[in-house]
Structure 1
Amino acid sequence: MSSETDTYKTAVNHYLSPKRQDPVKVQWENAFSSNLTQQVVTKLVQDLGLKEISVVDFGCGIGEGLTLLHQILGDLAITKDHIFYTGVDISPQMIATAEEKWADEPNAKFCLQDIREAVPNHPTQLYYSCGVPYSHLTPEEMLGVLINVFKVIKANQTESLILIDVLGRYSIEWITKWQESRWAYCMSFLAESAESQTPMMMTCYYAPELQEMFEQAAALSGCEIASLEFHDRSLMVGRHSTTNEYNPHIPPYRYVVNDLYEPGRKTDLTKLLLNCPLPAAPGPVEAFLRNFPRNGMGWLPLRPNGGGNWMDLNGLISIAIGPTNTA
């Protein structure tokens, strides 16, 4: 079995493990992702008047995106019967697990596909992603995928929304890697020991870099970007805050915040304070982190939907795309 296969097998086990559903995951990360997903779907239903939504989920894993989509429908005028979902992933293990999990869902299908080679070409209103699939790609590969998606949107004359999930370049979790945009990322938090994990090359992005990429893809494909938003998720409390692998000085924020949800457990709140040396970074990033300890005495991490807009950890980008009238 190859190291890549081992990594995907470990990742599948991680997705299925109850240990993954810690308070930060459930109360913060899932809540934030659900809120943003609901905003996107609401725009499609209420602003564009759609009665049905076709969704393509890149890097779908075991189909967690479909769970989020079903959960946020609420009072909207559509039900899960109006959501037609296609999950795309490069991992056979992920696809097999997803197909088994969603076997009774008639509107869901899963495809083993490398999006660097092709993307589904049917009319799609929502291109979805969670779990940072785009960070697995080089910037050149990501640009190519975006161009292909934009071309499909233009060919089908759809008004589409794209939700892109990437790793933020200037995360406090990996300050030793700030000078690199692509580096060997070890998901040591998935395994019992770091030795059992093989690093994977991952690309981390800064918002202005992404905006330039989106504008380039739109220009090359003849599409128009109607709006562009950037959001931070897991600000300061990502899983590498517990490993010290890429920042030996960061407090174990995720563990400390998880402790706050444990009834009867005494938590040392001084561990929430940020006090570690920071390397050079772009001005807006430095300003945000410099002011961070003064924002509520370091309590900013306790606001699940708070944070700046410079993609400190997992950057979620929503793009509204409309076809242009140019040939």
Structure 2
Amino acid sequence: MQSVGSRTYSKAVSEGKYDLYLGNLFGKYDNVRTYWEDRLTRIALRPYLRKLVDSCQEQNRGVRIVDLGCGAGQGYQILTLIDRQDLDLGLQHQRVLPEENIETYLGLDISQAMVEKGNEIFEDKSNVSFARADLSEGLGKLKTTQSPFDIYFSSYASLSHLSRKDLVTLLQDICQHGHDNSVVVLDFVGRYSIEWPDYWSAQTETEKVRDYSMSYLYSEATRKHLDIESFPLRFWTGREVKQLTQEISEATGIEIEVLELMDRSVMVGRHTDTREYNSLLKPIRRSINSLHEDYMRTDLQELILDPRMIPKHSEIAPFLRQLVESWNIVVEYCQQRLCQNISLVNLQGWHHYSKPLQFALMTIDRVIADVSWMWYGDPRANIIEPQLGYALRTLEYEMQQGLGCGHGLVAILKISK
């Protein structure tokens, strides 16, 4: 039986869109994916993964990982490229989970094309394998053929392909199969993203499952004449994740602790550029990609967001308005600082700014001051603009509340037995 969305994924694999590479202005592995999304997932995971890896080392064994809806194994890179600390200026990276500490990495995906691609990419790693599995049926034969895993991992909304009922089955299996302190990483599409305001009002379970496409894989010109497949996804909020885990705990008698909820890509989701679900958006992801591109100067005015694009919502709108206001302050300050006609002491209302906003402004101020003597290498394009990107990324991360406002909603859970 062919899976929902299989045509999209098979086509993407055949076109090389799941080959591993760093950064770009467009496509699956654009700069936002590389320098924002993957990095933020790593930052959120780091403290919990570090504790788990240390525990495995104390037991003189490697870490066992199952990647649920693995694609071609992108989760392997997310997990193995996490630095032990932010400011590490040593000669070599010190990773939380070095590759040699992995006993088993098993990737499961319903797409045979993905399984074959994963086996091709990781053919030189004897501890890495991929298998076809239908997660709507839970863990299936893994419950009897595999020892408990330390990490039950998912990435990039792979679990949004499951209905709520099927996800309950999967999580019950994970709880029963996992050991005490196993970590579970859930990744969904957030329902309150500015990309699809028409989805915000969903009440019934049927309304929470909506059509989705991966049209962002193609250029605007290509999208106009291409028959792009749409398929149903289940859109989630942070509150629903908490309710779900409580329900699973009560049903299994096994405690599930929600360690963290993170909204990923609040302002720069995949469909901000396509505007497929919200025609009022600016192609902001494209501009952020430009910030991280070597020798490419960005029109910073294109980064200014219009708060009128935010739909009315008693809980979500106030948060988004505050984020948009802070975002715009950082971008405007950067523009003025580049013209050397402003300093931090000139800013009105500094003491009313949030700590994340103050930090972002100080970052920009210091970076511009420190490169002012450089006359070579295009310091604006290659130093200042990437640091503006990181400042906006940190601002978004520090202000997010795990409400389901991002394109992605990441939940990190711990099993207690």
Deviation per CA, 1:2-21, whole angstroms, max 9, x where unpaired? 78442111332322276533
The aligned counterpart of 1:311 is: 404
The aligned counterpart of 2:50 is: 42
- Structure possessing the higher radius of gyration over alpha carbons: 2
SS in 1 for 2:404: coil
| 1:298 to 1:16, Cα distance in 2 relative to 1, 3 A | farther
Scaled by the length of structure 2, what TM-score is found? 0.71
The aligned counterpart of 1:80 is: 99
Scaled by the length of structure 1, what TM-score is found? 0.89
Equivalent-residue separation in structure 2 for 1:91 and 1:198 (angstroms): 15
Q: Does the Cα contact within 8 Å between 1:173 and 1:241 map onto a contact in 2?
A: yes
Number of residue-to-residue matches in the alignment: 319
Deviation at 1:248, TM superposition (A): 0.6
1:152 maps to amino acid: H
Equivalent-residue separation in structure 1 for 2:409 and 2:272 (angstroms): 17
Equivalent-residue separation in structure 2 for 1:245 and 1:36 (angstroms): 29
Bigger drift between 164-173 and 118-127 goes to 118-127
Q: Does the Cα contact within 8 Å between 2:210 and 2:234 map onto a contact in 1?
A: yes
Question: Structure 2 matches for 1:1-327, cutoff 5 A?
Answer: 4-12=5-13, 13-16=16-19, 19-46=27-54, 49=58, 51-72=61-82, 75=94, 79-83=98-102, 84-119=104-139, 120-121=142-143, 122-153=147-178, 157-180=179-202, 181-191=208-218, 192-193=222-223, 195-275=226-306, 276-281=308-313, 283-297=314-328, 299=330, 302-304=392-394, 305-309=397-401, 310-313=403-406, 314-323=408-417
Equivalent-residue separation in structure 2 for 1:4 and 1:96 (angstroms): 17
- C-alpha RMSD of matched pairs (Å): 2.4
Q: Does the Cα contact within 8 Å between 1:292 and 1:298 map onto a contact in 2?
A: no
Deviation at 1:109, TM superposition (A): 1.4
Equivalent-residue separation in structure 2 for 1:168 and 1:298 (angstroms): 26
SS in 1 for 2:136: coil
> Which protein has the bigger strand share?
1
Bigger drift between 63-72 and 90-99 goes to 63-72
Where does structure 1 lack aligned partners over 5 or more consecutive residues? none
Deviation at 1:252, TM superposition (A): 0.8
Bigger drift between 87-96 and 258-267 goes to 258-267
Deviation at 1:130, TM superposition (A): 0.7
Q: Does the Cα contact within 8 Å between 1:10 and 1:190 map onto a contact in 2?
A: no
| 1:266 to 1:107, Cα distance in 2 relative to 1, 3 A | closer
2:163 maps to amino acid: T
| 1:293 to 1:70, Cα distance in 2 relative to 1, 3 A | closer
Q: Does the Cα contact within 8 Å between 1:177 and 1:246 map onto a contact in 2?
A: no
Deviation per CA, 1:31-77, whole angstroms, max 9, x where unpaired? 11222333332020236745421111000010011122222375368
